[in-house]
Amino acid sequence: MILLFLSSGLFLGWSLGANDAANVFGTAVATRMVRFQTAAIVSSVFIVIGAVVAGGGTTATLGDLGAVNALGGSFMVALAAALAVMWMTRAGLPVSVSQAIIGGIIGWNLFTGTRTDVASLVKIISSWVACPLLAAGFAALLYLAARTVVARARIHLLELDAGTRYFLIAAGAFGAFALGANNIANVMGVFVPAFPMKSLSLFGAFQVTHAQILFFVGGLAIAVGVFTYSQRVMMTVGKSLFKLNPVTALVVVLAESLVLFLFASEGLENWLIGHGLPPIPLVPVSSSQAVIGAVIGIALVKGGRGVKLAVLGRVAGGWVATPAIATLVAFLGLFFLQNVFGVVVRRPVPFELTPPAVQRIAGQGAWDPALGRLSGIRFRNAGEFSAALSKEADLGARRLEAVFEASEIDSFVIDPPGTWELDASVLTAGQIDAVRSLVRTSYRHKWQLHEALAGASNEWAPVPDTRANHLRKKAFASELRYVFDLFRVELDSR
Amino acid sequence: MKSLFAKTKFLESRIEKYLDHTSEVAMLFREAMKDYLEGRDEEFEARRRQVTDLEKQADEIRLEVERQLYLETLIPESRGDVLGILEHTDEVITAAKTTLMLLSVQRPNIPESMRADYRELAEYGCRAVQELVMGIRAYFRTAASVRDHVHKVVFWEGEADTVAERLKRKIFSSDLELARKLHLGDFVVHVDTLADGAEDVGERLSISAIKRSV
């Protein structure tokens, strides 16, 4: 049954492999600098490695935008994205799987009444714009460097050819790694919050999280796409779209790979934060648009001739059309899945101003007396709650955030069997002891469980929200999420 | 990695060998012309045979290079240009061989007053080919400097054309019988083919060098 739900994600993975591998090795294979078999093997291996090792960052961003919390919902979101991609591809329009998935997630948010995190959405959309621009910049710089090196180094044409081949393979490996790391979120990201599997211990030495298991499976689907369909796409992309010589093709691949890596690398993010620099958001971006940006960057360095503004216009149009179509398809698809086939597409997340919630909101200075009229009323989802709140008072963003956080209803029971399943590779000993000290207690709000844990041990104390704490906050949020997922029980119906 | 670089090194050395042969043929041609004009028949025939051998070796090298480039799918972007340059350079070598063979067979009787002109014509042809060879070597490493060499090839070809015209006018305004005039005029054309051939390859080389720019 799980495999059935995963099928739409696997199909997305296959189409990603079939289409996007061409952005990495297309020109190299089409110009016969690299054999297809070599390209396919290198792509597959490094896509899987990139997905498993570095796929978490972009996946977390998708989760921030909208955490699809039921497998049926994940299935339809991925299917909506796949259908949008297929439809636009058939229509000959440029399409990005990354942008389609965002549309699908927004569609799920709209259908389930979940709030779309505007900050995440802005971050994602600005990354779409930044992606081709950055690629153009990198390509221009790399091209100038390559031109200087080739001119000054007096390398023999045959040696340049041999060196370029090896660099194309190396750049292709890097590009495949970056593609796996950046785009695996498109394939499996929507399944991560809903996937019921726990972590696995490999050979007693390595812990593999459930997300990494999903990324591995998704990576395999991408690899199958590379082997079964990408050769034709590589020959098309490599020959007809780009008239590049091998050195310029190498520059394009490197620029595209760098951009995808930048938008996926948690290591780089950590380094930037550690040095007091603003981090680059970890967002799945379009490899095709990165390639277009890179080619244009080189064209501009060469004098700007041959830059087709119409191509740029179509790319920008895709930023709107792709997510819009995917949103619509997701919304309609979820409706049918839930109401016609009776599939659970969401776990309900109701909201209620319970007495403890009211106390918490008041303690944070966010309370408005007008909200008293809503106390004790259960709202089915964030959409209904938001509508009711806005009728009673104009709270402003900060207070609204506090009200939502305090009012979200969940259900946790710290049961004895669960306390013995606590994973020592995820939580510290002190954290585990704190959880065990709360055995047989129950909670209706996440913050209540968190407060209880913090009361039991300093290791559960909230992490101050500063840039220096960015890494610790991410890890802490992950630890909390682990405890919530382990002890969550079905909500009692009211 | 070592294997591909080893193959490219080997091919590089074969192309260098081919260019060496081309250069040597041009110099041998010039010296053979001097030997013929000064009546040193034995030395002439020896040099003629050397040119024939070098032409044959150059052919073999060229075919070997062509085969390797296609077999290993090397330099796919530039392969056509490189092979075109080598094939047309082969025509220059063949022209030298053919001219010396015709000299050996037909034994034209060149008047004393015209020998310096024939020598000068052969000299300019040789210089044009030398510059061409340097231009081809430059093409493989610094495409930007090909232009300088091609410019010189064109210059020497122009000088050769000037001498050829002067020599033809001298021949046909002389008192020699018509048959002899035609025979001598024919050999002006043959000797001039070296410079003409070099200029043709030079034009092709120029365009290939422009295409090579990154």
Question: DSSP states of chain B as a string?
Answer: -HHHHHHHHHHHHHHHHHHHHHHHHHHHHHHHHHHHHTT-HHHHHHHHHHHHHHHHHHHHHHHHHHHHHHHTT-STTTHHHHHHHHHHHHHHHHHHHHHHHHHHHH-----HHHHHHHHHHHHHHHHHHHHHHHHHHHHHH-GGGHHHHHHHHHHHHHHHHHHHHHHHHHHHTSSS-HHHHHHHHHHHHHHHHHHHHHHHHHHHHHHHHHHH--
Q: Are residues A177 and A226 in the same domain?
A: yes
Q: Closest residue of A to B16, CA-based?
A: A156
Instruction: For residue A401, tell me if it sits in a domain.
Output: yes
Output the pLDDT for position B19.
97
Q: How many CB pairs under 8 A join A and B?
A: 54
Domain hosting A398: range is: 351-407
The residue out of A290, A308, A339 marking a domain boundary is A339
CA-CA distance, A153 to B61, in Å (whole number)? Answer: 27
Give the total number of structural domains in chain A: 3
Instruction: Residue B5: list chain A partners with CB under 8 A.
Output: 159, 162
What are the extents of the domains in chain B? 2-212
| Residue A238 shares a structural domain with residue A296 | yes
Determine the distance in angstroms separating the CA of B112 from the nearest CA of chain A, rounded to an integer: 48
> Is B5 in contact with A147 (Cβ distance < 8 A)?
no
Q: Of A285, A319, A339, which residue is a domain's last?
A: A339
* Residue A216 within any structural domain of the chain: yes
Identify which has the larger pLDDT, A344 or A146.
A146
What pLDDT, on the 0 to 100 scale, is given for residue B123?
97
Instruction: Please tell me which of the candidates A146, A154, A248 has its beta carbon nearest to residue B142.
Output: A154
Distance from CA of B190 to the nearest CA of A (A): 34
CA B73 – CA A445 distance, rounded (Å): 66
DSSP-assigned states of every residue in A175-189: HHHHHHHHHHHHHHG
My answer on whether A76 and A102 are in the same domain is: yes
Residue A312 lies in a domain: yes
- Same-domain status, A362 and A423: no
pLDDT digits (tens, 9 = 90+) for A334-390: 999 888 888 888 888 899 999 999 999 999 888 888 888 889 899 988 888 988 998
Note whether A454 contacts B: Cβ–Cβ < 8 A: no
Q: Among residues B192, B43, B39, which one has the least CA distance to residue B123?
A: B192
Q: What is the mean pLDDT of residues B107-126?
A: 96
Given a cut of 60, is residue B1 above it in pLDDT?
no
pLDDT digits (tens, 9 = 90+) for A408-419: 999 999 988 888
| Per-residue pLDDT at A60 | 81
B210 compared with B97, residue with greater pLDDT: B97
pLDDT at A113 over 90: no
Report pLDDT digits (tens) over A264-289: 888 888 888 878 888 888 888 888 88
Which residues in chain B have Cβ-Cβ distances shorter than 8 Å to A242?
none
DSSP string covering A209-234: -HHHHHHHHHHHHHHHHHHHHHHHHH
Give the CA angle between residues B54, B59, B63 to the nearest 5°: 150
Give mean pLDDT, residues A465-490. 81
Give the residue on A whose Cα is nearest the Cα of B214: A147
Fold category of B2-212 in CATH: Methane Monooxygenase Hydroxylase; Chain G, domain 1 (1.20.58)
Residues A91 and A23 in one domain: yes
Q: Do A132 and A156 belong together in one domain?
A: yes
Which residues in chain A have their CB less than 8 angstroms from residue B77's CB? 31, 245-246
A313 and A236 belong to one structural domain: yes
Q: Is B11 on the interface with A (CB under 8 A)?
A: yes
Percent of chain B with pLDDT over 70: 99
The pLDDT mean for chain A works out to: 85
Q: For residue A494, is it within any domain?
A: no
Considering only CB atoms, A32 lies closest to which of B73, B78, B82, namely B73
Per-residue confidence (pLDDT) for residue A97, from 0 to 100: 86
In this structure, are A455 and A381 located in the same domain?
no
- Looking at the predicted complex, does its ipTM rise above 0.90? no
Give pLDDT, residue B2.
Answer: 55
Residue A7 shares a structural domain with residue A78: yes
Give me the pLDDT at residue A276, please. Answer: 80
Full-model pTM: 0.82
Do A98 and A220 fall within a single domain?
A: yes
In angstroms, the separation between the Cα of residue B20 and the nearest Cα of chain A is 17
A493 — pLDDT class (breaks 50, 70, 90): very low
Q: Do B8 and A155 touch (CB under 8 A)?
A: no
Considering the domain boundaries, does residue A259 fall inside one?
A: yes
Q: Which residues lie across from A202 on neighbouring strands? A: A206
Tell whether A326 and A416 lie within a shared domain. Answer: no
Asked whether A10 and A137 are in contact (CB, 8 A), the reply is no
Q: How confident is the model at residue B205 (pLDDT cuts 50, 70, 90)?
A: very high
The yes-or-no verdict on residue A403 having pLDDT over 60 is yes
* Inter-chain residue contact A162 with B4, CB threshold 8 Å: yes
A285, A318, A339 - which closes a domain = A339
Dump pLDDT digits (tens) for B9-67. Answer: 899 999 999 999 999 999 999 999 999 999 999 999 999 999 999 999 999 999 999 99
For position A241, what pLDDT does the model report? 47
Task: Please tell me whether residues A189 and A249 are part of one structural domain.
Answer: yes
